[in-house]
Amino acid sequence: MNKAIAVFSGGLDCTVAASVYAKDYEIHAITFNYGQKAFEQELKASQIICEKMGFKHHIINLDWLSKISTSSLNTSEEIPNVDFKDLDDAEKSAESASSVWVPARNTVFTSIAASYAESIGAEIIIVGWDKEEANTFPDNSKEFLKSFNELFKVGSPIDIEIKAPAIDLDKDEIVKLGSDVNAPMELSYSCYKGTDIHCGVCESCMRRKRGFKKAGIKDLTIYEK
C-alpha cells in the first residue's frame, strides 16, 4: 500500500482529512509538541484515533519553537474567549488569531512532514487546512497550499504532494465530510486551553460547536460551557 504522512494534532480537521485517505494509504501520523497548553489532550486524542484507524503514530518535540513563541497557546498569556457573533467579525477574529499565532507553525510542521515523506517514500502529506480558518490564518489558505506544492516540485527528489481535502470547506462542511467518510470525530480534541473537557468558549471550541450545529449532525463533544 502507498504511504502517506499526516500532520496530526488529534483535532477535528486533521481527523477528517486523514480519514478521507485511510482506505488507500498506510498513514503515518505525526503529532508535534511545541509546548502548547493542549499537548497532553492532543496526544491522548491522537493516540486513540490512530489506534482505532490503524495509523502509525510518531511524536516530534519542538522545544525551540516553544521558546521563541509569544503565542497564548504556549505561554502564560491567557487564551481569549469568544462569542458566536465574534466568529464572523473580521476585527475580533483577527485579534483572536493574533493571540494564538505560533511563528511559522504550519511551515515548520509541513517541512518536517516532508522529511518524513522522503525518508519512507510517502507520496502525500495530509493536512487539515480549511477555508474557514484561512480567513484569519494565512497558513491554512489555498494560496499557501499551492505555494508549498510548487516548492516540493523543485526542492524534493521525489514526488510529494500536500493533500488538503478541507481546503475549500467551512467547518460545517468538514463535519459533513467527516460523517461521509466515517471519521471518528467524537474522539477528536479541538480546545486551545487543554482542559480535560473542551472549554466551549475558545475560538476553536466555538467553531467546532457551530460546525456541528450548522451541519445538523449531533455533536458528541462534552463542553464545560
* Per-residue pLDDT tens digits for 207-219: 999 999 999 999 9
Q: How many residues does the chain have?
A: 225
Residue 199 in marked binding region: yes
Distances (CA, A) of 51 to 48, 116, 137: 5, 20, 30
Average pLDDT on 69-98 reads 95
Residue 200 in marked binding region: no
pLDDT of residue 91: 92
Residue 9 in marked binding region: yes
Which numeric CATH code is attached to 3-215? 3.40.50.620
pLDDT of residue 204: 97
* Per-residue pLDDT tens digits for 153-173: 999 999 999 999 999 999 999
pLDDT of residue 116: 97
Residue 17 in marked binding region: yes
Residue 50 in marked binding region: no
Can you give the residue ranges of every domain in the chain?
3-215
Q: What's the 3-state SS for 172-198?
A: HHHHHHHHHCCCCHHHCCCCCCCCCCE
Whole-number Å distance between alpha carbons of 132 and 42: 21
pLDDT of residue 80: 96
What is the percent of the chain with per-residue pLDDT over 90, rounded to a whole number?
Answer: 99
At 159, list the grid cell.
Answer: 514526488
Average pLDDT on 115-133 reads 98
Residue 216 in marked binding region: no
Give the sign of the dihedral formed by CA 90, CA 95, CA 100, CA 106: positive
Residue 11 in marked binding region: yes
Whole-number Å distance between alpha carbons of 43 and 9: 7
pLDDT of residue 39: 98
Residue 13 in marked binding region: yes
Residue 18 in marked binding region: yes
pLDDT of residue 3: 98
Whole-number Å distance between alpha carbons of 45 and 150: 32
Whole-number Å distance between alpha carbons of 20 and 10: 15
Contacts for 24 with CB less than 8 Å, ≥ 6 apart: 1, 2
Residue 14 in marked binding region: yes
Average pLDDT on 95-113 reads 97
Residue 155 in marked binding region: no
Rg over alpha carbons for the chain, rounded to the nearest Å, is 16
